[in-house]
A = this chain, B = another copy of it.
Amino acid sequence: MSAVPDLPVLTDLSALTAALRTHLDGPRRAVRDRCRGLDHDLLAPPPTPLPMNEHRARVSAQVEALARESFVAEGFPERQGGLGRYGDGVTAFEMLGHTDLSLFVKAGVQWGLFGGAVSMLGTERHDALMPRIISGELQGCFAMTETGHGSDVQGLLTTATFVAETDEIVVHSPSPLARKDYIGNAADDGHLATVFAQLVVGDEHHGVHCLLVPIRDDDGSAADGVTITDCGPKLGLQGVDNGRLMFDHVRVPRTNLLGRYGDINDDGVYTSPIENPSRRFFTMLGTLVRGRISVAGGAGAAARSALTVATRYAAQRRQFAKPGVADGGDGQEVVLLDYRTHQRRLMPRIATAYALQFAQNDLVVAMDDVLSGRVSGELEQRELEARAAGIKAVTTRHATDTIQECREACGGAGYLWANRLPAMKSDTDIFTTFEGDNTVLLQLVAKSLLAQYSSTFGDLDTLGIVRFGARLTASTFVERSAARGLLQRIVDVAPGREENVVFAARTTQLALLTEREEHLIEGLARRLRRADEPGADGFAAFNNTQDHLVATAVAHVERTVAEGFAHAVATCPDPEAAAVLARVCDLYILSTIETHKAWYLEHDRLTPARTKALTALVNEICAELRGVALPLVDAFGIPEPWLTTEMLDDNLAP
């Protein structure tokens, strides 16, 4: 007996595709449809790799064309000349993830990072710049990362020293390690930079602040005191002009300080609405949350493009004949997607792509609520940041792994530029690093979970490890106690019977994920409490739990993504689409549990008989969903001209 009831007989696959797509498009379907109508010839990746400078020029022209699209203005408030529809703007950018990813990144630098910093960190005196930024007339850079400090932004070396005598701020790079590095839009096009630097007013150090520094004169040459160099060719994203900036005592007016969270007044006195310097710093960074959400969006889009191409190829390509008629077969060559190993490569990744798209849709709704001010409060802001960090890390990991798998699953054809996977792979490879290195982000997520746990149970001393003291809503922990009782009952009863039946109920599936997350958090708290005893080496204690922190964060994201997927299934209005989605959700959750089956066995949550039954069940669901593999990828709704490849030429179909 299988734990999986059969899918309904699906009579109309195009109706199924349409219903799936509508639900997957989510609340911003109209935005997605508008983007599907964009001029793809204009926005497409170059049909053949271009010399770096030609590719850059091409992307600059694309950015100019994009500036005329309304979704650029959507990302900014009305008082700055924008439209104040933040969620729509981010969703439109996500759709750019199906075009040339150099364009996605270059536009993200100009409007998301540079424009976003001026918009969110500036004061009224900077609003006047915004229309020229939105129109693309004023091109800029986001100069945060330095050669010596990337993840550790608080450790930046660039200084911004207020000089009362001239009412100016002097920006300086004191060493080669202080060089601003990997800065998009710096090598060619940027004229103004939002520079993050250690602010010094009089004798006082106020920590990292952001200020505007012109880096180029009108004629395009480097401004006085600014040295600009080119990062040169990269693995991908050749259309983005990444560069390096060094400042030699560059003077800018005091009013160039983007002073919303820390300003210098006309009397030359530093003032801030947030007294605690650490809280101030994290509040500033927190306003830039959109960057991570956009990167997750673009990564998810690229992974969907790759899965669409690879699944179609797998459904067309044949290799090795079945046994002949004499041996009970029909002698036909087998379609790749009929092989179990091939199903195992693609089907769980399609399921994950669904899960993450629903998660992204939900995250954008939450972001829109916070940015529009409909929801406010530090707690909500911190929760949004933690969610964004977790989804960014998990989605970019998914994209890198999935595109790699798709390349390999297409064999030699996947290696040819004409089949688009090479550009997807090379361009997205840095997504696991930029906008927050994934390993660092996952540790932030875990620390915020610890803070939440601590505030709920009050039994965790700080140890300095919860420096990023975000407090999330604490209620979820209490709610989950009920689920745990349920799990225990289900796991305890009926051993020896059909072992896979236990995996059929969504509540059990979710309880299994919740159980793992909670156990990891509790274990972490216990280890850190022990490490906080007198005489313990703080760094060693932190370091010994580092892999535990990362595992905890991943478990948390997996649980929340699964809950979101379950909700999406439950709210799908089309019965056939809902039935298919339910099975895709089963596959996402059960293959996730399977990935961690050693944990479930080690912690006595599943018996060996059940983990073996789980693997068999995942195989079975892969085989079942293979029948709707094409509708599943078609429902991603990527316009056909955006998916042109050579290998899917009908002439090559056997």
Contact = CB atoms under 8 A, between A and B. Distances in A.
A538 interface: yes
Given A328-B538, A537-B328, A598-B601, A235 B334 contact: no
A426 interface: yes
A277 interface: no
A652 B235 contact: no
Interface in A3-45: none
Contact of A407 (B411, B429, B597): B429
A interface SS class: helix
Nearest to A607: B602
A77 interface: no
A340 B543 contact: yes
Interface in A253-282: none
A149 B538 CA distance: 59
Interface string A137-160: 000000001011111100100000
B177 A654 contact: yes
Interface stretch (A87-95, A413-421, A629-637): A413-421
> 3 shortest A-B CB distances, which residue pairs?
A235-B422, A598-B598, A233-B417
A402 interface: no
Given A319-B151, A319-B152, A434-B412, A538 B329 contact: yes
Interface of A: 48-49, 51-52, 145, 147-152, 155, 176-177, 181-182, 231-236, 318-323, 327-329, 333-334, 338-341, 344, 400, 404, 407-408, 411-412, 414-418, 421-422, 425-426, 429-430, 432-434, 437-439, 464, 537-539, 543-544, 546-547, 550, 597-598, 601-604, 608, 611-612, 619, 651-652, 654
8 contacts: A152-B319, A155-B320, A176-B652, A181-B412, A233-B417, A339-B546, A411-B433, A598-B598
Contacts of A322: 538-539
B148 A654 contact: yes
A617 to B, nearest CB: 13
A421 B52 CA distance: 18
A82 to B, nearest CB: 30
A164 to B, nearest CB: 31
- Name which of A433, A537, A598 has the most chain B CB atoms within 10 A of its CB: A598
B619 A539 contact: no
A323 B539 contact: yes
Contact of A417 (B147, B232, B323, B408): B232
Nearest to A597: B598
Contacts of A604: 608
Number of copies: 2
Nearest to A646: B232
A438 B437 CA distance: 31
A245 B344 CA distance: 34
Contact of A426 (B152, B235, B547, B608): B235
Contacts of A148: 318, 652, 654
Contact of A235 (B48, B145, B319, B407): B407
Given A176-B651, A327-B538, A329-B539, A433 B408 contact: yes
Contacts of A150: 319, 411-412
A545 to B, nearest CB: 8
Contacts of A433: 408, 411-412, 414-415
Contact of A415 (B430, B602, B652): B430
- Name which of A322, A550, A602, A619 has the most chain B CB atoms within 10 A of its CB: A602
Contacts of A608: 601-604
A145 B416 CA distance: 15
Contacts of A235: 407, 415-417, 421-422, 425-426
Given A49-B233, A152-B320, A598-B601, 4 more contacts: A49-B52, A232-B416, A415-B429, A602-B612
Contacts of A145: 412
A48 B417 contact: no
Given A234-B417, A327-B538, A417-B235, A412 B182 contact: yes
A620 to B, nearest CB: 10
A602 B602 contact: no
Contacts of A344: 547
A257 B408 CA distance: 34
A416 B149 CA distance: 17
A415 B236 CA distance: 8
A538 B539 CA distance: 59
A422 B319 contact: no
A595 to B, nearest CB: 9
Contacts of A236: 415
A538 B152 CA distance: 58
Contacts of A400: 404
